[in-house]
Structure 1
Amino acid sequence: MNLESLPKYFSPKSMMPGAVPCGITSDTLTITDVMASLGLLTAKAAVGIELYLAKAGVLSSENIIAYIRQLAEQRAERHGALRKMEKGKRSKFLDTMARYVFRDYSLSAASLVTCSSCHGAKLIDAEVFTNKVTYPDGKPP
């Protein structure tokens, strides 16, 4: 089973939980097999699987962002620069960093993101100011 096929088990095609589609073989994974393997995977690598499921849209991204922030808060005491920050600024910084970590993980090279500078117009208007100096004989000294 590929990790990429996992989200389809969270959106069933039938309203009956035990419904089995026609034409499957006995060696096909059932929903019970998938959920058991997901439980084992969660026990071994909870952060990774929760990140992937939040990226796929199965879980809420706020839960994993809060977990990343909690991990960052626990490890912040190890770093001198973070220890020196006042508590309010450090909390805001760690929250921003946790959101960035999830956003960086969930975006791929194929993701389309609207530019915050041009808002998708692909053009930024800018005023250019140039100082021109003229010399009496046309040449600089």
Structure 2
Amino acid sequence: MQLINYQMQRFWQYGGFNPDLYLFIPLSQTRYVTRGYNQVSQTWSPVLKKHSNVSEALFRVRATKAQSTLSRAQRKRNLKDAFSLSHCIQGKNIAIIDDVITTGSTMDAAAQTCLDAGAAKVWAFATSLTPLLGK
């Protein structure tokens, strides 16, 4: 948590980073009910507590298979048209936050949803990066 906070402070102070909205990658409703929480929002909410522009505007329009079991090509297909937005983000600068980036398919799908809705810029942040092994 301290490292995330440190990195974000540097972006805010020196990087010209000032998003209009922070959006967490959402879980499907089924996964959320099963798990009881969204690990991304639990991890990042303390870091963003001073920011009133954290939103749940990004949501899944359909359940998807767990990405961890899929190849790179399957991940991309799995997330096609999986996200939507609950309100207008036309001209806004958006920061999308996820827990892990492996192939970037989830971020790509979410970012494309935002860009298609007229977002001016989209930044992607993740708690960690992991390589895709053997797929």
Name the TM-score class by shorter chain: under 0.3
User: Which of the pair has the greater relative contact order for Cα pairs under 8 Å at 6+ separation?
Assistant: 2
TM superposition score normalised by structure 1: 0.23
**Greater fraction of residues in helix:** 1
**Greater fraction of residues in strand:** 2
